[in-house]
Amino acid sequence: MAENKRKAAIEGTPLGFAISENDRQTLAMVSQALDQKRVKLAFQPVVLGSDPTRVAFHEGLIRILDPTGRVIPARDFMAAVEEQETGRRIDVAALEAGLWTLSQNPTLRLAVNMSARSVGYAPWMRALRHGLKRDATVGERLILEITESSAMLVPELVVSFMDELQQYGIAFALDDFGAGFTAFRYFKDFFFDMVKIDGQFVRGIARDPDNQVLTRALQSIAQQFEMVTVAESVETVAEAEFLRGIGIDCLQGYLFGAPTTKPDWSRDAMSLSA
């Protein structure tokens, strides 16, 4: 509500025009990158809480490149494209890259992000069916991450969407858990296999009593519905030890590895081919 009022207040002002023009330029830049296939995934490990030396799966994060090959920061375009078809095209590009990576690495398990706005988007479904046809094993190694705020836009559609895709063995993660406004009644209907606790509750948790209480509460909800818990944005040993101590299942963050477009398995493949 406050955000809508803020937007309304600046519309029609010089600042509002500048923001709109910047958004148009951003949309054009990202659309051109998609047209020219200037996209790739960066991979970040998600480790087991019980043994942080073991990787449970990786998350594939979409990267859009400018004409020189440099990464365009997601913060520069995601807000502008989220409600546009460009946002759906980004989801398609991420899915295609993820499915191809899975087909090339038969032991890999990978999470790929998507918006609930892409539910029912025909090109996205075509990309999924093509990937499954090429390699039927990728379904059971694919995790689709849907943000909490996105899922709650169309909860009934998300429920039926998940029900349809789980026949292929696809798992689902509720991303940024706690950051949105989930109506908890839907937890009985959702088929999420895991929840990713938003980083705002994780950072500094070892010394922040409020974050400790909130994270325990989110963990309790997840456990009640038999969902695996993943803590995001883990950056210090103290945070990791606290989270492990309360039984969080998996940990993700810079402490265990930054997103990279050159993961270990690709370097290993290049070494073998050299």
N residues, the chain: 274
- pLDDT at site 164: 92
Q: How many angstroms separate the CA atoms of 107 and 228, rounded?
A: 20
- Contact between 129 and 94 under an 8 Å Cβ cutoff? The reply is no
Q: How far is CA 80 from CA 19, 87, 219, 273, in A?
A: 10, 9, 32, 41
Round to whole Å and give the CA distance between 240 and 237. Answer: 5
Q: What is the pLDDT of residue 263?
A: 92
- 183: enclosing H helix or E strand: none
Token readout for 178 is: 């706690």
Q: Please give the class, per CATH, of domain 37-273.
A: alpha beta
pLDDT tens per residue, range 129-156 = 999 999 999 999 999 999 888 888 888 8
pLDDT at position 183 is: 59
- Predicted confidence at residue 83, as pLDDT, reads 86
Tokens at 152, concatenated: 């709650």
Res 139: pLDDT: 96
Of 214, 218, 242, 245, the closest CA to residue 229 belongs to: 218
pLDDT number for residue 265: 79
Low-confidence ranges of the chain (pLDDT < 50): 1-3, 6, 10, 14-19, 268-274
Those residues whose C-beta lies under 8 Å from the C-beta of residue 197, and which sit 6 or more positions away, are: 177, 178, 215, 218, 219, 229, 230, 231, 232, 248
User: For position 22, what pLDDT does the model report?
Assistant: 72
The predicted pLDDT at position 17 comes to: 45
CB of 46 closer than 8 Å to CB of 230: yes
Contact in structure between 144 and 164 (CB atoms under 8 Å): no
Can you give the pLDDT at residue 273? 36
